[in-house]
C-alpha cells in the first residue's frame, strides 16, 4: 500500500536537476572528471542552460538506472529550463542509460543488494547540484518546445 502511494507521488521525466540526487543502477558506477565533451555539452548548455564548466564530475550510468531528486535546487532557474527539467522532490529519470553530471566531487558509491535475486545494484547520493538526463546517444537532437 505504501509503495502505491509513493509511486503516485513520483513524477518521471527525461531530465532532472536537484541539490541532492539519489542514483542507482545494475552496472558499475565510474565517476570521471568533467572537462566538457562535444557529444554531451548540448545537454548541459542547451537544456539546463549552464556553462559547460559548471559541473566537476560525470558518469554514464547503465542497466536499469533510476535517479531521484531528494532535495530541489536552491537557485532560481529560467522558466524555459523548468519546462524541460523536473526539479521537484521525488522527480525521477528511469531508463537503460542515464548521464549524470554533478558538483559533488566526493561522491561515494555503495552496493545495494536484492536478497536472493543475484542482482546487485550500485548506488549512492550526489550531495551537491546534480543533473541527470536520459542518454539518447549520438543522434540526440534538441527537442523544440
Note the pLDDT tens digit of each residue in 62-79: 988 999 999 999 999 999
Q: Helix, strand or coil for residue 103?
A: coil
CA gap 133, 136 in Å, rounded: 9
For residues 31-48, average pLDDT:
90
HSE (side-chain half, CA atoms, 13 Å) at 110: 7
C-alpha cell at 52: 559547460
Domain ranges of the chain: 2-134
pLDDT above 90 coverage of the chain, percent: 59
Terminal C-alpha separation, the chain: 37
Q: Residue 5: is its pLDDT beyond 50?
A: no
- Rounded to an integer, the average pLDDT of 114-129 is 77
Sign of CA dihedral 5, 9, 11, 17: negative
Contact 34, 59 (CB under 8 A): no
Nearest Cα neighbor of 67 from 10, 22, 109 is 22
Q: Distance between CA atoms of 121 and 29, rounded to whole angstroms?
A: 10
Greatest alpha-carbon pair distance for the chain in Å reads 46
Average pLDDT, the chain: 84
Amino acid at each position: 500500500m505504501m509503495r502505491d502511494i509513493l509511486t503516485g507521488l513520483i513524477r518521471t521525466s527525461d531530465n532532472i536537476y536537484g541539490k541532492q540526487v539519489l542514483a542507482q543502477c545494475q552496472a558499475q558506477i565510474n565517476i570521471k572528471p568533467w572537462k566538457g565533451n562535444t557529444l554531451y555539452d548540448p545537454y548541459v548548455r542547451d537544456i539546463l542552460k549552464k556553462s559547460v564548466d559548471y559541473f566537476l564530475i560525470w558518469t554514464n550510468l547503465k542497466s536499469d538506472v533510476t535517479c531521484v531528486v531528494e532535495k530541489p535546487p536552491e537557485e532560481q532557474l529560467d522558466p524555459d529550463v523548468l519546462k524541460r527539467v523536473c526539479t521537484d522532490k521525488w522527480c525521477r529519470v528511469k531508463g537503460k542509460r542515464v548521464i549524470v553530471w554533478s558538483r559533488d566531487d566526493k561522491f561515494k558509491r555503495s552496493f545495494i543488494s536484492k536478497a536472493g535475486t543475484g542482482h546487485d545494484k550500485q548506488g549512492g547520493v550526489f550531495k551537491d547540484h546534480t543533473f541527470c538526463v536520459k542518454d539518447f546517444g549520438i543522434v540526440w537532437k534538441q527537442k523544440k518546445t
